[in-house]
């Protein structure tokens, strides 16, 4: 009996320690939709989620999404209701109308780097969340830079801009982003 | 004997008995302790792992919530991995609200043995679950499946350590048994030695010494008092034996050797005379008219006469020669001598002179008592004991007849 048990014991001791082989960390990204506007769905989800997981100093029921400049994707943006009765309302207007008191979120469309920087300069250290459509390297100073890649949609977060802003983004969302230096 | 008899084999292996007793006791104790510790540990680990799993699923649920909300499966996987480094789960699953499997995280995939797998099914039959609560709705569920590998490894180590302890304890038991053996068996051997001395060599004066062990000392006291009683009995018996032996060989009235003593001494003297180059004179005496004394003066007077006759006979021989009363008024003398005729005439003359003075009876009267004497001398007159006696008796009767006719 003892010998048999000892055998089991040795067998068990000889096992490889179950090393916690970390699951592969893949690039974060949303898969695209099929059809003529593959980025519409993922973009809507991304904007909704970012709005959902961000906190403004003063809570408003309507979050105004100001579109700055022409956009390849945001025109077909479909509004989805947010939690706790809040909602996202896209607001179209001239770039000159962009001001902190009129927008909670500013979506920078197909603008040049200089134009983007100009707008962002006016929003620095205010309670406005800035999202850039056309800045994959995230050099404009926007807080969130969307990446429309061939097979997926992702975003980068400019932590410097986020830390200066009065808008607080859930750290779990920050984690999800691709940092400019690569993950 | 109360312990064991000294002639038989010593009861073998008190040390073995002690060692076996210790061995069993210790084995039982160690196995009991090891088993209970291992079991308790395994149960505690199960409880801790349960808590760990609960915490794991909550952490995972919190970590994957935004990614679930975004619908980013890769990020869900990554988030599980980033918060699950310390989990005890063997598998964590994230399922969306529609029941689809979004991500699976399995740290030790493939490292599980069949035995562990089977144990997992028994000990963790169902996973621990936590819902993923999104901002507006429940986004899905996190499931964690527990693993026995830790508890299993703990049990195996517990078992191995238990075995090691057992081995050490068995060695220690041997040593302890030897020491106990010395402490307990030494007094027992002392008892055995004394008992043997008493039973074999009749050394009733021996006593046990105090051992320092209460039970043995109580026994020692009883044994010593028993020895004391035995010693008393032994002495009484010796005295009685001596008295009985004396009675068996002596005539109670006169104190002379009786017929039994005579028979023995006679044969011994015959056997001793030849080799010693001596002659042995057998003298047989019979008091004259003793029957008349007895009848006319009474038995008391008869007894007094016999006692006085014995005294006079005894006085006329020197040790180692002895006088015997063969019965009634019949006496015998055995006298070793260097003379070829045993000095018969001289001895007879001495006896006659001894009987010449009248005997003074208790009442003060005086009475003259004479004896008829027959003598035969070994080995010149008869070569063996029977014919020597016949000859001596014959001569004694001749003498009696002669004396009667002379009257």
The interface predicted TM-score (ipTM) is 0.73
pLDDT for residue A22 is more than 50: no
Check residue B332 and give its pLDDT: 93
Say yes or no to pLDDT of A1 above 60. no
Q: A146 by DSSP, 3-state: which?
A: strand
CA distances to A153, B74, B98, B143, B239 from A31, in Å: 6, 10, 18, 24, 125
Closest partner residue to B66 (CB to CB) among A2, A12, A170 is: A170
Please report the beta strands in A80-140, taking only residues with DSSP state E, as ranges in sequence order.
87-92, 105-108, 129-132
3-state class (DSSP) for residue B336: strand
Taking the CA of residue A133 and the nearest CA in chain B, the distance in Å comes to 18
The pLDDT assigned to A107 comes to 94
How many Cβ atoms are within 10 Å of B403's Cβ, its own excluded?
15
Provide the pLDDT confidence category of residue A132 given band limits of 50, 70 and 90.
very high
Confirm whether B398 is a catalytic residue.
Answer: no
Question: At A181, is the pLDDT very low, low, confident or very high (cuts 50, 70, 90)?
Answer: very low
pLDDT at A183 exceeding the cut of 50: no
Domain ranges, ordered by start, for chain B? 1-201, 259-406
- What number of other Cβ atoms are within 10 A of residue A68's Cβ? 28
**How much is the pLDDT for A130?**
94
Residues of A in contact with B66 (CB under 8 A): 49, 53, 170, 172-173, 176
Q: Which letter does DSSP use for residue A125 in this model?
A: T
Is residue B55 very low, low, confident or very high in pLDDT (cuts 50, 70, 90)?
Answer: very high
Asked if A79 reaches chain B (Cβ–Cβ under 8 Å), the answer is no
How do B89-96 and A168-169 pair as beta strands?
unpaired
Residue B281's nearest CA partner among B289, B291, B270 is B270
Task: Please give the radius of gyration of chain B, using alpha carbons only, rounded to the nearest integer.
Answer: 56
- Does the pLDDT value for residue B162 go beyond 90? no
On whether any CB of chain B is under 8 Å from the CB of A84, the answer is yes
What's the mean pLDDT in A51-69? 90
Please compute the mean of the pLDDT values over residues B27-45 and round it to a whole number. Answer: 86
- Describe the crossing of helices B344-355 and B299-315 by its angle, rounded to 10 degrees: 140
Confidence at residue B320, expressed as pLDDT on a 0 to 100 scale: 80
Q: Taking the C-alpha atoms of B208, B213, B218 and B221 in order, what is their torsion angle to the nearest 10 degrees?
A: 20
* Cβ-based contacts of B132 with chain A (< 8 Å): none
* Per-residue pLDDT at A8: 42
User: Nearest CB to B136: which of A46, A83, A172?
Assistant: A83
Say whether pLDDT at B2 is over 90: no
Q: Is the pLDDT score of A4 beyond 50?
A: no
| Of B107, B122, B110, nearest in space to B152 by CA | B122
Q: What is residue B143's predicted lDDT score, i.e. its pLDDT?
A: 93
Average pLDDT over residues A159-175: 89
Q: What is the DSSP string of B232-270?
A: HHHHHHHHHHHHHHHHHHB-TTT-SB-HHHHHHHHHHHH
Specify the higher pLDDT residue, A128 or B247: A128
Query: How does residue B110 score in pLDDT terms, banded at 50, 70 and 90?
Result: low
Q: Could you give phi then psi for residue B262, rounded to 5 degrees?
A: -60, -45
pLDDT of residue A26: 33
* CB proximity A14 to B under 8 Å: no
pLDDT, averaged across chain A: 78
CB-based contact (8 Å) between B329 and chain A?
no
- Over residues B355-360, the mean pLDDT reads 89
Assess whether pLDDT exceeds 70 at residue B48.
Answer: yes
Q: Which chain B residue is nearest to residue A176, measuring alpha carbons?
A: B75
Q: Which residues does chain B have within 8 Å of residue A39's beta carbon, measured at their own beta carbons?
A: none
- What is the model's pLDDT at position B54? 93
Render pLDDT for A76-87 as a digit per residue (tens, 0 to 9): 777 778 888 888
Taking CB atoms within 8 Å and a gap of at least 24, the contacts of B245-254 are B251/B310, B251/B325, B253/B303, B253/B306, B253/B307, B253/B325, B254/B306, B254/B307, B254/B309, B254/B310, B254/B311, B254/B325
Q: Is B70 on the interface with A (CB under 8 A)?
A: yes
Interface test with B, best of A12, A33, A83, A177 (most B CBs within 10 A): A12
Alpha helices in B108-258, H assignment, sequence order? 114-123, 149-201, 214-249
Binned at pLDDT 50, 70 and 90, residue B179 comes out as confident
| Facing residue for A173 by CB, picked from B66, B71, B160 | B66
B96-106 pLDDT tens trace: 988 889 899 88
Among A121-130, B47-56, B176-185, B389-398, the least confident range: B176-185
Which pLDDT score, from 0 to 100, does residue B274 have? 82
Q: Of the given ranges (A30-34, B90-94, B272-276), which has the lowest mean pLDDT?
A: A30-34
Given a contact cutoff of 8 angstroms between Cβ atoms, the answer to whether B138 and B131 are in contact is yes
Contact criterion met (CB < 8 Å) for A6 and B163: yes
Whole-number pLDDT of residue A28: 53
Q: For the ranges B53-62, B78-87, B254-263, which has the lowest average pLDDT?
A: B78-87
Specify the fold of B259-406. Alpha-Beta Plaits (3.30.70)
Q: Is the pLDDT of residue A21 over 60?
A: no
Residues linked to residue B336 through DSSP beta bridges, in sequence order: B280
Contact A116/A102 with Cβ under 8 angstroms? no
% of chain B beyond a pLDDT of 70: 95
End-to-end CA distance of chain A: 55
Q: From the list A5, A27, A172, which residue is nearest B74 (CB)?
A: A27
Residue that wins the pLDDT comparison between B365 and A14: B365
What gap in Å lies between CA B114 and CA B258, rounded to an integer? 105
Q: Do A53 and B66 touch (CB under 8 A)?
A: yes
CA distance A141 to A128: 13
CA distance A21 to chain B (A): 5
Top-ranked range on mean pLDDT: pick from A3-17, A98-112, B186-200? A98-112
B134 touches chain A (CB under 8 A): yes
Kind and range of the H or E element at A59? none
Query: How close is the nearest chain A Cα to the Cα of B63, in Å?
Result: 7
Residue B405 predicted with pLDDT over 90? no
- Distance of alpha carbon B17 from alpha carbon B86, whole angstroms: 53
Q: Which of A18, A22, A176 sits opposite B67 (nearest CB)?
A: A176
Question: Does residue A113 sit at the B interface (CB-CB below 8 Å)?
Answer: no
List, in order, residues 6 or more apart from B348 with CB less than 8 Å away: B283, B373, B375
Judged by CB atoms closer than 8 Å, whether chains meet at B69 and A52 is answered as: yes
What pLDDT sits at residue A167? 92
> What's residue B324's pLDDT?
93
């Amino acid at each position: 009996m003892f010998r048999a048990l000892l055998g089991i014991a040795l067998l068990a001791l000889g096992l490889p320690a179950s090393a916690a082989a970390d699951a592969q960390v893949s690039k974060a990204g949303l898969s695209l939709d099929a059809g003529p506007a593959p980025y519409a769905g993922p973009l809507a989800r991304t904007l909704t989620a970012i709005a959902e997981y961000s906190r403004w100093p003063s809570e408003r029921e309507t979050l105004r999404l100001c579109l700055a400049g022409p956009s390849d994707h945001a025109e077909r943006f479909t509004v989805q209701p947010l939690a706790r009765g809040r909602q996202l309302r896209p607001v179209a207007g001239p770039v000159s109308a962009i001001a902190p008191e009129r927008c909670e979120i500013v979506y920078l469309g197909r603008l040049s780097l200089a134009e983007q920087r100009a707008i962002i300069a006016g929003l620095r250290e205010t309670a406005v969340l800035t999202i850039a459509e056309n800045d994959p390297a995230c050099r404009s100073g926007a807080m969130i830079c969307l990446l429309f890649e061939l097979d997926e949609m992702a975003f980068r977060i400019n932590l410097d801009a986020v830390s200066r802003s009065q808008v607080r983004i859930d750290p779990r969302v920050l984690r999800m982003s691709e940092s400019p230096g690569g993950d | 004997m109360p312990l064991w008899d000294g002639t038989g084999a010593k009861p073998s292996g008190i040390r073995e008995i002690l060692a076996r007793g210790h061995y069993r006791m210790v084995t039982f104790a160690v196995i009991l302790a090891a088993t209970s510790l291992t079991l308790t540990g395994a149960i505690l680990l199960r409880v801790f792992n349960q808590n760990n799993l609960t915490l794991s699923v909550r952490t995972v649920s919190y970590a994957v919530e935004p990614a679930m909300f975004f619908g980013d499966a890769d990020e869900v996987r990554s988030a599980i991995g980033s918060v699950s480094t310390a989990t005890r789960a063997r598998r964590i699953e994230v399922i969306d609200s529609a029941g689809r499997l979004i991500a699976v995280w399995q740290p030790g995939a493939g490292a599980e043995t069949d035995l562990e797998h089977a144990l997992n099914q028994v000990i963790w039959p169902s996973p621990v679950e936590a819902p993923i609560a999104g901002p507006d709705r429940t986004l899905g569920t996190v499931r964690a499946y527990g693993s026995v590998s830790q508890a299993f490894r703990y049990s195996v180590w517990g078992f191995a350590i238990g075995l090691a302890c057992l081995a050490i304890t068995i060695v220690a038991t041997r040593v302890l048994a030897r020491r106990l053996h010395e402490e307990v068996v030494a007094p027992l051997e002392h008892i055995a030695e004394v008992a043997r001395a008493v039973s074999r060599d009749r050394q009733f004066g021996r006593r046990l010494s105090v051992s320092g062990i209460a039970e043995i000392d109580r026994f020692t006291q009883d044994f010593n008092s028993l020895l004391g009683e035995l010693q008393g009995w032994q002495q009484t018996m010796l005295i009685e034996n001596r008295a009985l032996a004396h009675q068996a060989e002596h005539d109670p009235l006169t104190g002379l050797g009786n017929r039994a003593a005579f028979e023995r001494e006679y044969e011994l003297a015959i056997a001793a005379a030849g080799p010693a180059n001596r002659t042995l004179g057998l003298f047989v005496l019979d008091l004259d008219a003793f029957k008349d004394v007895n009848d006319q003066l009474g038995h008391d007077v008869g007894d007094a006469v016999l006692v006085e006759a014995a005294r006079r006979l005894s006085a006329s021989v020197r040790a180692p020669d002895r006088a015997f009363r063969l019965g009634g008024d019949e006496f015998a003398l055995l006298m070793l001598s260097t003379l070829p005729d045993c000095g018969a005439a001289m001895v007879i003359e001495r006896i006659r002179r001894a009987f010449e003075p009248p005997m003074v009876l208790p009442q003060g009267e005086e009475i003259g008592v004479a004896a008829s004497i027959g003598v035969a001398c070994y080995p010149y007159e008869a070569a063996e004991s029977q014919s020597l006696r016949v000859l001596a008796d014959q001569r004694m009767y001749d003498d009696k007849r002669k004396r009667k006719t002379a009257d």
